[in-house]
Amino acid sequence: MLGRTANDLFWMSRYIERAENMARLLEVGYRIALLPREGGGEPEWFSTLRSAGCEQGFLEKYKTYATDDVVRYMLFDPDNFSSVYSCLSTARRNARAQRTAMTREMWESLNSAWIEFAAINQKALTSDKLPPLFDWIKERSALFRGALLNTILRNDTFYFNQLGTFLERADNTARILDVKYYVLLPHAELVGGEIDNAQWSAILRSVSAHRSYHWVYRESYKPWRVADYLILNRQMPRSLRSCYDEIANALAELNTYYGATNGCETQARDTLRLLSEANMTTIFQSGLHEFLADFIGRNNGLGSAISKTYHFAD
Amino acid sequence: MKGFDGAVREPYHSVHEWLSTQKIDDLRRKRSEAEALFRRTGITFAVYGDDAATERLIPFDIVPRILSGAEWRRLSAGIEQRVRALNAFMYDIYHRQEIIKAGRIPADLVIQNAAFVPEMMCVEPARGIYSHIIGIDLVRTSENEFFVLEDNTRTPSGVSYMLENRETMMHMFPELFSRNRVQAVEDYPESLRLTLESVAPDNLDRAPTCVVLTPGIHNSAYFEHSFLADQMGVELVEGQDLVVVDGALHMKTTRGLRQVDVVYRRIDDPFLDPLVFRRDSVLGVPGIFDVYRAGRLTIVNAPGAGIADDKSIYTYVPDIVEFYTGRPPILKNVPTYQCRKPDDLTYVLENLEKLVVKEVHGSGGYGMLVGPAASRDEVDMFRMKVKARPERYIAQPTLALSTCPTLVEAGIAERHIDLRPFVLVGDRVRLTPGGLTRVALREGSLVVNSSQGGGTKDTWVLQE
């Protein structure tokens, strides 16, 4: 496979995953923005933008966090390279450049998503139409992922897509946690009250885990449990641990397929060991924020190592 | 569809009967379904840029164009004769130039020709073939008369439309295919792969590695490049993915460099190699021509293959066929006036209103005059152009082109059509039954080029 092909596939899957995450984050932010607030005032959009990694770009364009501006910036702004518009457009451009590595089903699901999204009339998007749009974006991502899983050959094409999806997902989950880490510290429970409960619920919602939490823990939200669920729990498909199970697996398969060994797999296994041997008590002791910052750094480092090892851009 | 006597011709009987039972609105609906299908599959040609808005569809007409098995057999023999002769001509031109020495073709027409590539002199391409993929544009003027309008020996395009038109027709009108025994076209990609492999450099100790070289996603035919690479199961590469190392061409893969043996290139000669041709080319690969000349790589079609489809050479193709095959040509040329010849020029200037005038180096239907359809001003303007630079123009009589029923605004109506069969030349000549039928959608128009609002049709060759 061409190095350029691997690069395009990796980023195609990353951008699809990112589009879905943007929709999810917006959905939660929007839900909170709609709730009545004590004493009026503007809804809190900063943490949503921060979790999405777009707060700097946003502040360069806008002075206040008006809901309409935030939504437009995260959905449609071509200047924001993480907006849903940019994600779908880049993913589709990569797919088009790599038609030979795409199955017909993958290409058609992505191409029609792009055609429909590009045809949306932004002016006609009243607030009642936004939640269905968020759903639509998630559905489109699911459709693409389903087409990929059901039709793609299990060779390097598949593994580079897997790596893109799960590196992006791990980064996203870690960032959501890091932005809100203070509400997850054990003492936060002492502060307690309904506001924190809403915050925990929002964190879980932003990774579609507010219902499954109860099935796994069979109790009401506890901050350290929420953290445990999203960091260490293998059952939770968006937890850091789950993502690294997939990443380490994809790299191992890739090496078997290529009949080679390299540093990427070792690097991924180190992170995986860290996640499988840790428990929340030790993580809290050494600092949740420090732990997450270290993880985000490792995850980015692995991304660079993969791009270098597999000649993404020689 | 109808014979020149007005009756429905035999191969069309079944489709004619079917068509007369269809409601126009249903057909229109089917056509929009087909277009939605094309757009979803991404069968578009980019006009420029990469936005959905600039990716246009070539209009697809749902009424098929039909040839009988016997008609096709006659055409095939003519096409095969012609492509063999054209390749023999190129080998000769780039070696001993016997045809010039024999006085059958003027030397300056070849040597001064922009499509002649002097760097190709004495190069030995695998199997002596220069043009492996050829499209021959044909028009029909009567029951038994087909004329060659043009040979395309560089990088003919449109084969993906031939294949996708068939897919779409089978998807939308399966009943038509159970009522008519239509010869399959789906083997084309396999034939193309076999052709490419058959012209790999000699003495390879492994299966040859073939690639398709594209200028990239902004090229108007990008869909076709990716489609063919995908259907053959070979890599689709850009210039930036290739590099010459140790006298061999390599592609940059996830596992490092891998040697490439056959390049089906879809970029033009001048852009192939900045060290030999245009220095500012970023689409090609520095050093690729040296690898080719040393016989360690096959480029398909060969650089310099354009010499055989130049419009000024076209007039000589009947002589070329006779010179190299020793037989009279089976397929005729359209009579052509060369404005660089004084007698022809006089005739052309006196009869502009009746003639089609083309630029010698033009393509895509740009820069041509269709006399009978042109305004007085247009004719006058062309008169000045031709007078100023006669050597740049040729002229042909307007032919009574055959027509085929076509779905237009007003319902079903006759529109003019041509035919581009696709021929592959390797260890043997491979010809896919039919080809691409292009249709002029405007009433009375003879211009079928997609850049000028032409459409395409599925083309059927019936089993004998």
Q: How far apart are CA B439 and CA B452, in angstroms?
A: 11
pLDDT at B442 over 60: yes
Locate the chain B residue with the closest alpha carbon to A6: B254
Query: Is-contact A76 A85, C-beta < 8 A?
Result: yes
Q: Hey, which bits of A67-197 come out as E strands?
A: none
Of B52, B217, B253, the CB nearest to A3: B253
Task: Tell me the pLDDT tens digit for each residue of B178-193.
Answer: 889 999 999 999 999 9
| Nearest chain A CA: its distance from B263 CA (Å) | 15
Of A1, A2, A96, the CB nearest to B42: A96
Of A104, A115, A258, the CB nearest to B255: A258
> What pLDDT score was predicted for residue B444?
80
Q: How far apart are CA A124 and CA B25, in angstroms?
A: 32
Helix (H) or strand (E) run with residue B429 in it: strand B429-431
Task: Tell me the pLDDT tens digit for each residue of A157-166.
Answer: 999 999 999 9
Query: Is-contact B238 B215, C-beta < 8 A?
Result: yes
pLDDT band at A257 (very low <50, low <70, confident <90, very high): very high
Inter-chain CB proximity A93 and B50 less than 8 Å:
yes
The values of phi and psi at residue B223, to 5°, are: -55, -45
> What pLDDT score was predicted for residue B72?
96
pLDDT band at B50 (very low <50, low <70, confident <90, very high): very low
Query: Is-contact B410 B131, C-beta < 8 A?
Result: no
Full 3-state SS string of B198-255? HCCCCCCCCCCCEEEECCCCCCCCHHHHHHHHHHHCCEEECHHHEEEECCEEEEEECC
Instruction: Kindly state whether B251 is in contact with chain A, defined as any CB-CB distance less than 8 angstroms.
Output: yes
Percent of chain B predicted with pLDDT > 70: 96
Q: What residues of chain A lie within 8 A of the CB of B52, using their CB?
A: 114-115, 118
Task: Tell me the pLDDT tens digit for each residue of B366-386.
Answer: 678 888 888 889 889 889 999
Instruction: Kindly state whether B42 is in contact with chain A, defined as any CB-CB distance less than 8 angstroms.
Output: yes
A285-314: b or e for each residue (b if 16 or more CB lie within 10 Å)?
eeebeebbeebbebbeebbebbbebbbbee
Q: How far apart are CA B239 and CA B222, in angstroms?
A: 14
Of B41, B227, B253, the CB nearest to A1: B253
Domain ranges of chain B: 10-334+399-461, 335-398
Instruction: Kindly state whether B217 is in contact with chain A, defined as any CB-CB distance less than 8 angstroms.
Output: yes
> What pLDDT score was predicted for residue A39?
59
pLDDT band at B48 (very low <50, low <70, confident <90, very high): very low
Inter-chain CB proximity A6 and B50 less than 8 Å:
no
CATH of domain B335-398: 3.30.1490.270
B124: left (phi over 0), alpha (psi -120 to 50) or beta: beta
Interface size A-B, in CB pairs within 8 Å, comes to: 72
**Among residues B323, B269, B327, B275, which one has the least CA distance to residue B91?**
B323
Inter-chain CB proximity A311 and B253 less than 8 Å:
yes
Is B43 exposed, middle or buried, given 0-12, 13-18 or 19+ CB atoms closer than 10 A? buried
| Nearest chain B CA: its distance from A117 CA (Å) | 11
Task: Tell me the pLDDT tens digit for each residue of A203-237.
Answer: 888 888 888 888 888 888 888 888 999 999 999 99
What letter does residue A121 receive in the DSSP assignment? Answer: -
pTM strictly above 0.90? no
Task: Tell me the pLDDT tens digit for each residue of B397-434.
Answer: 888 788 898 998 888 888 999 999 999 999 999 999 99
Inter-chain CB proximity A3 and B254 less than 8 Å:
yes
Query: What's chain B's average pLDDT?
Result: 90
